[in-house]
Amino acid sequence: MSFVEHASPYHQYQQSPSQMAAASSIGSPPDQMNPQTSHVGPNVNPIQGTTKLSNSLNEWFEQMIEMRRLKALLCHAAFSSALYLLFACVLQISLVHPIGTIYDILSLLSSSRTILFLVGYVLMNTMSTYIIGRFLLRFDSEKKLSKKDWHVWCVLAGFIVLDNLKGHLLLTGSGVTFVKGIIVDAPSFIVHVPVLVATFMNVFECDYRLQIPAFEFGAVHQLQSALRLGNEAASKSLLVVGKWTVVFTFLIGLPMYGWTIFPAVFSVRIVFSTLVLAYSQALLHYLSLKCLKALVLQHYTFALPPAHAVVDPTPEQ
C-alpha cells in the first residue's frame, strides 16, 4: 500500500497563477509542471485547455445559481399562496355586517373559483420574482438602480403589467366589484394609481445589491426575519404611496372626472381595498428580494481531498 500526499488548500492558495494553471493538470509528471521543461505535443493547446476549464466552471456556477433561483421561486410561491388567501379574507371584512363577513370568508375558502384565482396570482408573483433574480439583482456598489438605464425602464413596464394583473386577480377573486379592470371611471382610477406608484417605488427605491454577509444565518432564519421586516417596510411604504396618490388624484383625476372623483376618494370600501392592494404589492416584492438573497447567497462548501490518498488500496480498504 502506498500513499500520495496532496498539497493543502493553503499551499494551493499561495501558488502563483502560472503554478495554479499548471497544477490543474492532475496526474502530470513533475517535468510537465514547468513551462520551460515541458514537452507539449503539436496537437495540445494549453490555452484551449484552460479556456475549456474556465467555461466548465462558469457553466457549473450558472447551473448552481439557477437551481438556487428555482428554490427561491418555490419558496416565494408558498408565501404568495398563503398571503393571497389572507388578503382575500381581509377584503371580506365589513364592520357593518360582522356575521356576513364570516359567511363570506367561509364561502371564499370553500369555493373552487378561489383556486383558479390563487393559481393565477401565484404565477404572476413567480414571474415577478424570476425577473428580479434574472435582471435586477447584481454585485454592485450602487444601492439603487439607475434611472438612466433603459433596461430598467423595460423591467418597470413589465412590472406594471404584472402588478395590475395581480391586483385584478386579487380584487376580482375577492368579489370586489367596483373596479372594472382598466382606468375608465373614478373608482378604477383611485385603485390603479397606487399600484403604479408602488411599482415605481419597488423598482427604483429597493436595494438590489448582492452582498455576502459577514455572518451567515440559515435560510429559514432569514426568511422568518423577512416576514417581520417586510411588514415594517410595507407599512412605511403606504405613507409614500398615499401621498403620491393624493397628488395625482388632484393633478390628473380631478381634471379627468371632475367632482365625481370625491365620492370615490372618501369611500371607505374603496380606500380600504386600495390600502390592502398596495400593502400586498409592497410586501410580496420585499419577500421576493429576501427569498432570492437568502438562498442565492448561501455559502457553498467544497469537499477537500484527504491529506493522504491511497494509491494501491488493499482488499480490506
Which has the minimum average pLDDT: 78-87, 92-101, 219-228? 219-228
Instruction: Please give the share of the chain, as a percent, with pLDDT higher than 70.
Output: 73
**DSSP-assigned states of every residue in 185-206:** SHHHHHHHHHHHHHHHHHHHSS
Tens-digit pLDDT profile for residues 128-153: 999 998 889 887 767 788 888 899 99
Whole-number Å distance between alpha carbons of 152 and 284: 19
Tens-digit pLDDT profile for residues 237-294: 898 998 999 899 889 988 888 888 888 888 888 889 999 999 999 999 999 998 888 8
Which has the minimum average pLDDT: 47-51, 94-98, 109-113? 47-51
Residue 66 C-beta-side C-alpha neighbours within 13 Å? 6
Mapping DSSP to helix (H, G, I), strand (E, B) and coil, where does residue 81 land? Answer: helix
For 272, other C-beta atoms within 10 Å of its C-beta total 15
What the block records as the C-alpha cell of 196 is 403604479
Tens-digit pLDDT profile for residues 150-209: 999 999 999 999 999 999 899 888 887 766 555 578 888 888 899 999 999 999 988 888
What region, left, alpha or beta, does residue 184 occupy, with left being phi > 0 and alpha being psi -120 to 50 degrees? alpha
* pLDDT level of residue 311 (50, 70, 90 thresholds): low
Whole-number Å distance between alpha carbons of 295 and 69: 7
pLDDT at 96 over 70: yes
pLDDT at 29 over 60: no
pLDDT at 28 over 60: no
- Is the torsion defined by CA of 52, 54, 58, 64 positive or negative? positive
How large is the C-alpha radius of gyration of the chain? 28
What region, left, alpha or beta, does residue 144 occupy, with left being phi > 0 and alpha being psi -120 to 50 degrees? beta
Whole-number Å distance between alpha carbons of 88 and 122: 13
In order of 22, 31, 39, 99, the CA distances from 28 in angstroms are: 9, 8, 12, 80
pLDDT of residue 162: 94
- pTM greater than 0.85: no
Q: Are 203 and 155 in contact (CB under 8 A)?
A: yes
Whole-number Å distance between alpha carbons of 248 and 227: 31
Whole-number Å distance between alpha carbons of 246 and 256: 14
Across all residues in the chain, what is the average pLDDT? 78
What the block records as the C-alpha cell of 189 is 382610477
Whole-number Å distance between alpha carbons of 230 and 30: 58
Question: Which 8-state DSSP code applies to residue 92?
Answer: T
Mapping DSSP to helix (H, G, I), strand (E, B) and coil, where does residue 35 land? Answer: coil
Mean pLDDT of 113-119: 93
Tens-digit pLDDT profile for residues 36-67: 444 444 454 556 656 666 677 777 777 878 88
pLDDT of residue 221: 72
